[in-house]
Structure 1
Amino acid sequence: MKHLNKRLRTFLLIVLALAASFTAKEGLSPAPKATSGVTVKRVVDGDTLIIDDGKDTRVRLIGVDTPETVKPRGRVEPWGKEASDFSKKALTGKSVYLEYDEEKEDHYGRTLAYIWTEDPRTSDKPKEEILFNYQLVASGYARERSYEPNTKYQAILHEGEIVAMDHVRGIWAVEGKEGPAKGNKKSKIYHLPSDKSYDTVSPQNTVIFENAMEAERAGYQRTFSR
């Protein structure tokens, strides 16, 4: 009986080890929570869409920021149309799955969600392949922009941004090597020479980066005032 119990314990330890190894290879951590299936009625721009739920709910993708296609206070940003076209082609009329984070809505009343092109709990595909937020960033159509408390997939989205920068894709082909970038140590915001606030950072708070990609890799974000 002792030998049987020992063998049983050994067997269980092997099973647990295999399960842990399988989970580690799944790609995203933590695992996706419950998702809800919906149909995309219309894409507004690269990171915003309307779902066909009888209320035309507006959904804003979490953790990403695509260049503006309609910018009220300035010029349309480079690569904005390409980002919008990418999302339209991939999502319009398609069934997707929404996953929420800590906050379900932003202060504009938009639903905040991660968009999965397949149910992440049952799909055999790598999670990065079916998380549309990641695809936007890794393809160079969006910057990684995660804000507390909705930061569940911030690490993987930032990895996607690194992939895009390494391959100089999309927006990084336009502005990635522009510089020198001037960062603010306190706010973690950086400015490019073409930005209005480039010369407003106090010398004691200034850190200089060779270009935009170097600033992004260091965890700085570009100013919205351009």
Structure 2
Amino acid sequence: MKSKLILFFTFSFIFFNAQLKENTFYTVSKITDGDTFYVMTKNSEKFKIRLIGINAPESYNVGKKFRKEYFGKEAKVFATNLLKNKKVKLTFDVQKTDRYGRILAYAYLENGVFLNQYLVENGFAVVATFPPNVKFVEVFTKAEKLARKKEVGLWK
């Protein structure tokens, strides 16, 4: 079993690195919720992206584990308005994928806005860091404190 996992992660890493490049802009093709969306390559390949270091409320029920949460619909609408038919530049941290096969990334809008931070500072997501992907934990913590102080989004 252990060797199968190692093989899977090795294959995933090689496949992933061959498909998505860091600091490259990709077109957003679909928004799943406030912290997850799909990008499309020039070859029309789609990849599911999960923003690192933050967590937005769930906008719909997913099985028994993930239930629709307060402010989930608002977080998805906010993310959709920011991302629909736009391009994002992706950067990465230590881990490239999560246990669900999603690509873990930090995203930047074409105007330079750091999406992960922007969602937190506007109250549409909270800090949720998981080592070893902790590159911006201080940035996100400061953004959440600011959102709470301004009483925006979730903190109204």
TM over 0.5: yes
Structure with greater Cα Rg? 1
Q: Report what 2:72 is aligned to.
A: 80
Q: Report what 2:58 is aligned to.
A: 68
Q: Report what 2:139 is aligned to.
A: 156
Counterparts in 2 of 1:112 and 1:75: CA distance versus 1, 3 Å: closer
| Distance (whole Å) between structure 1 residues aligned to residue 152 and residue 111 of structure 2 | 28
Counterparts in 2 of 1:119 and 1:35: CA distance versus 1, 3 Å: farther
How far 1:69 sits from its partner (Å)? 1.0
Please tell me whether the aligned partners of residues 43 and 92 of structure 1 are also in contact (alpha carbons under 8 angstroms): yes
| Distance (whole Å) between structure 1 residues aligned to residue 138 and residue 127 of structure 2 | 9
Q: When the two structures are superposed, what TM-score results if normalisation uses the length of structure 1?
A: 0.55
Q: Report what 2:151 is aligned to.
A: 168
Structure 1's unaligned 5+ residue stretches are: 1-33, 121-129, 174-226
How far 1:119 sits from its partner (Å)? 7.5
C-alpha offsets along residues 149-171 of structure 1, whole Å, 9 cap, x if unaligned? 00111100111000111011111
Structure 2's unaligned 5+ residue stretches are: 1-21
Q: Report what 2:81 is aligned to.
A: 89
Q: Give the aligned length.
A: 131
Any residues of structure 2 matched to 1:125-204 within 5 Å, and which? Answer: 130-173=113-156
| Distance (whole Å) between structure 2 residues aligned to residue 77 and residue 161 of structure 1 | 18
2:39 counterpart letter in structure 1? I
How far 1:91 sits from its partner (Å)? 0.6
How far 1:134 sits from its partner (Å)? 0.5
2:115 counterpart letter in structure 1? F
C-alpha offsets along residues 46-102 of structure 1, whole Å, 9 cap, x if unaligned? 000010122210000001100111133375211101100011010111111000001
Question: Is residue 2:28 matched to residue 1:36?
Answer: no
Please tell me whether the aligned partners of residues 100 and 114 of structure 1 are also in contact (alpha carbons under 8 angstroms): yes
Question: Is residue 2:100 matched to residue 1:108?
Answer: yes
What is the aligned-residue identity percentage? 34
| Distance (whole Å) between structure 2 residues aligned to residue 139 and residue 119 of structure 1 | 17
| Distance (whole Å) between structure 1 residues aligned to residue 129 and residue 73 of structure 2 | 22
C-alpha offsets along residues 172-216 of structure 1, whole Å, 9 cap, x if unaligned? 22xxxxxxxxxxxxxxxxxxxxxxxxxxxxxxxxxxxxxxxxxxx
2:31 counterpart letter in structure 1? V
Bigger CA drift: 63-72 or 141-150? 63-72
| Distance (whole Å) between structure 1 residues aligned to residue 51 and residue 67 of structure 2 | 23
Q: When the two structures are superposed, what TM-score results if normalisation uses the length of structure 2?
A: 0.79
Q: Please identify runs of 4+ aligned residues in structure 1 that moved more than 4 A.
A: none
